[in-house]
Amino acid sequence: MLSTRLSAIAAKIPAGSRLADIGSDHALLPVSLAENGTIARGIAGEVNPGPYEAAQRQVREAGVGKLIDVRKGDGLSVLTPGEVDVISIAGMGGSLIVSILEAHPDRLEGVNRLVLQPNVGEDQVRKYFLTHNWILSSEELLEEDGKLYEVLTADKHPDAERLNEEFYRERTIGRSCQLDREWLLRLGPYLVEAGGVVFHSKWERELAKWRRIEKQLTESELPASQAKREEVRHNIAKIEEVLACTGMDRR
């Protein structure tokens, strides 16, 4: 049985896919997808010896060794160009996920979908999609065991540059909340439109962090701290505005 987080990722893997799950840990995701017949083939990539051996054991015990190949290596280095059409990466920071994708761009040949779940730095993943001509096709924000996770799905599209330019154009949320590209990348364009309880929970936590930072800066007499405080106050005001514009009852 997959966790809520992994189930959300699994739901974004199209039927018949050739999937590479990078940083697969115990290979729970590809094994589950193989068992229910979703994927045509799976590759579980893992760089660390312990998880690599655990993934091998999981595949062997599930009896799906003919469908899933467990490979030891760093990031996309375990792949050859053109052998998969979907890549999933979960449970890492956004900057690490981006570095994995950028380290071997040739391995993305033939890939038409990315399903990524960054633990932090979600905006960096969205920026990667934007600058590398991927279309952000869906976002899901979920809570499990007191932790919040975002699942970001992106697809290849021949007209991605134009579509992204339109998608990230400044827009109004609610009646009066103006969001530019920077804030859409931070908040998530689909997530901020949907609002809801979990969205509020995430950004109330972020707001609390910014307020703690503001307090620390207020107590400092350094000129640099005073300049930084203005930036922090701007962030606080914007998040407060967004929370006021997105009702708790919205989904």
3-state secondary structure labels for all residues of the chain = CCCHHHHHHHCCCCCCEEEEEECCCCCHHHHHHHHCCCEEEEEEEECCHHHHHHHHHHHHHHCCCCCEEEEECCHHHHCCCCCCCEEEEEEECHHHHHHHHHHCHHHHCCCCEEEEEECCCHHHHHHHHHHCCEEEEEEEEEEECCEEEEEEEEEECCCHHHHHHHHCCCEEECCCEEECHHHHHHHCHHHHHHCCHHHHHHHHHHHHHHHHHHHHHHCCCCHHHHHHHHHHHHHHHHHHHHHHHCCCCCC
User: Would you state the pLDDT for residue 219?
Assistant: 84
User: Would you state the pLDDT for residue 222?
Assistant: 82
User: Would you state the pLDDT for residue 218?
Assistant: 87
The parts of the chain modelled with pLDDT lower than 50 are 250-251
User: Would you state the pLDDT for residue 128?
Assistant: 98
User: Would you state the pLDDT for residue 174?
Assistant: 85
User: Would you state the pLDDT for residue 249?
Assistant: 58
